[in-house]
Amino acid sequence: MKKLLSMLVTAALALTSVFALAGCNSTAGEGGKGGNGKSGSDFKVGAIYINSQNDTSGYTYAHHHGITEAMKKVGLDPAKDLFIVDNVPEDDEKVKQAIDQLAGNGCNIIFGISFGYLNAMDEKAKEYTDIIFSHATGYLSNDKNFNNYFGRIYQARYLAGIAAGYKSLALKNNNIGYVSAWGTEYAETCSGINGFALGVLSVNPDAKINVYEISTWGDQELERQAAETLIDTYGCCVIAQHCDSAQPQIVANEKGVFGCGYNSDMTKEAPKAHLAAPIWNWDAYYATAIKAAMEDPANFMTKVGNYYEGLNAGLVDVSALSENCEPQTKEAIEIAKKMMVSGEWDVFSGVKLSFSGEAGSVAVAKTDAALVDNTGKEIVVAGGKSVDDGVIQGSMNYYVQGVTQVN
């Protein structure tokens, strides 16, 4: 009898251990079971991507690289602590399904990288109250577990515009093309186009920036066709872009012109064409967000909140200049970058920069001049401060002088 009792006790203890272990590895279910205040070994990161995590350049690549690098910085292993649902379209039901899947994986924070994910993330943040939801490029948030994040990419676009301006001068061709997902419908695309254009005009005041809108965030065939049209029909010598893939740069490379990519350095895709790209160092944000979510999730919105930084925080930059750039480019970019980082000057103010001089002696002139749209309307008075962040992020729906939409 004692032997039997001993065997029963041993079995019961073993069974208890099994359930305890199962509890440690359980995944989240409905109703906000994503976890709170986890140690590094328990913390899980979720991500919803518009394209494939295996992309080697472009928008999704930049975010994926940023997330994985940030996780390493805070002691997490992307191989086991990162859960991804990729190729998710901007469809509320599809996004909700992705969120449910990541919640089921036990994710403590979920990043959604595409604008059209915002409504689904807003809704699910109310359902999964113990999971932090962080949305790129949008404007919705709450005061508990849902924020948005973006940055002053217009600053980096201005710097790339300088490279494009010098190349257009060297080629004696004032026509510059810009393949854009959208135009004035979104402040994100519109402010980027305007920032780039003002950078071009600081070097070549006679330049014309021709915008071809493809009306979608990502369609490689449309991106290619738009670049071809800008080169073949409008005679553009430099092709810039705000779209997901490297297709506009590849077309520029094929047709013997030049280009400025986006999101990542696209020189490897277009070695004979690429000048420089406005790029995101997303790990600057992701490390901040993940660390805060790990250490004090209840105060995430207080510590991180809605995030909007620029060159000064290292969130945005311009890629290393390729050998295709003109000799004066590096000097001029360094001058403009220093002025923006220090806060001395910013892009959408009533002060115009004008660059002159040869390599080794590049100079910049600052002139009080009104910021004017392409209909002649004054946006900022001469000498005035830059337009508000809220306008840049949400309501900039005009092109500056020098910009024309061609389709």
Please write the tens of the pLDDT for every residue from 8-59: 333 433 333 333 333 322 233 333 333 345 555 699 999 999 999 999 999 9
d(CA 130, CA 293): 11
Nearest to 218 by CA among 179, 245, 252: 245
Give the whole-angstrom CA distance, residue 155 versus residue 236.
Answer: 23
Instruction: Please give the Cα distance from 21 to 9 (Å, whole number).
Output: 19
Residues forming beta bridges with residue 111, ordered by sequence position = 47, 134
> Tens digit of pLDDT for each residue in 67-125?
999 999 999 999 999 999 999 999 999 999 999 999 999 999 999 999 999 999 999 99
Q: 39-66: buried (b, 16+ CB within 10 Å) or exposed (e) per residue?
A: eeeebbbbbbbbbebebebbbbbbbbbb
By the 10 Å C-beta count (0-12 exposed, 13-18 middle, 19+ buried), 137 is classed as buried
Instruction: Note whether 138 and 115 are within 8 A (CB).
Output: yes
Cα first-last separation, the chain: 90
Architecture of domain 32-147+282-313: 3-Layer(aba) Sandwich (3.40)
pLDDT in tens, 317-347: 999 999 999 999 999 999 999 999 999 999 9
pLDDT at position 176 is: 98
Q: And the tokens for 156?
A: 């980096």
CB neighbours of 316 closer than 8 A, spacing ≥ 6? 151, 152, 153, 155, 156, 278, 279, 280, 281, 309, 310
Amino acid 39: pLDDT: 54
**Which helix (H) or strand (E) segment is 176 a member of?**
strand 175-180
Measured distance CA(362)–CA(204) in Å, rounded: 14
Residue 10 has what pLDDT? 39
Residues 314-333 as b/e (b if ≥16 CB within 10 A, e otherwise) read ebbbbbebbebbbebbbbbb
CB 123 within 8 A of CB 280: no
pLDDT digits (tens, 9 = 90+) for 162-215: 999 999 999 999 999 999 999 999 999 999 999 999 999 999 999 999 999 999
Q: How confident is the model at residue 238 (pLDDT cuts 50, 70, 90)?
A: very high
| Residue pair 365/351 in contact by the 8 Å Cβ criterion | no
| Between 18 and 373, the higher pLDDT residue | 373
Domain boundaries, the chain: 32-147+282-313, 153-277+319-405
Is 80 exceeded by the pLDDT of residue 352?
yes
By DSSP bridging, strand 175-180 and strand 208-213 are: parallel
Select 153-277+319-405's CATH number: 3.40.50.2300, 3.40.50.300, 3.40.50.2020, 3.40.640.10: 3.40.50.2300
Q: pLDDT tens across 248-272, in order? A: 999 999 999 999 999 999 999 999 9
Per-residue pLDDT tens over the stretch 358-371: 999 999 999 999 99
Instruction: Note every long-range contact of 339-344, with CB atoms under 8 Å and residues 24 or more positions apart, other chains counting.
Output: 340/155, 340/158, 340/310, 340/311, 340/312, 341/311, 341/312, 343/312
pLDDT value at residue 38: 56
Cα atoms found within 13 Å of the Cα of residue 54, Cβ hemisphere only: 0
- What pLDDT is recorded for position 41? 66
Distance CA 238, CA 82 (A): 39
At residue 226, the pLDDT reads 98
What whole-number distance in Å separates Cα of residue 240 and Cα of residue 208? Answer: 13
Q: Both tokens of residue 14?
A: 């073993």
Q: Is the distance from CB of 195 to CB of 161 less than 8 angstroms? A: yes
Higher pLDDT, 32 or 284: 284
pLDDT at site 37: 53
Task: Collect all residues with Cβ–Cβ distance below 8 Å to 110 and sequence separation of at least 6.
Answer: 46, 47, 48, 99, 102, 103, 121, 131, 132, 133, 134
Contact in structure between 117 and 63 (CB atoms under 8 Å): no
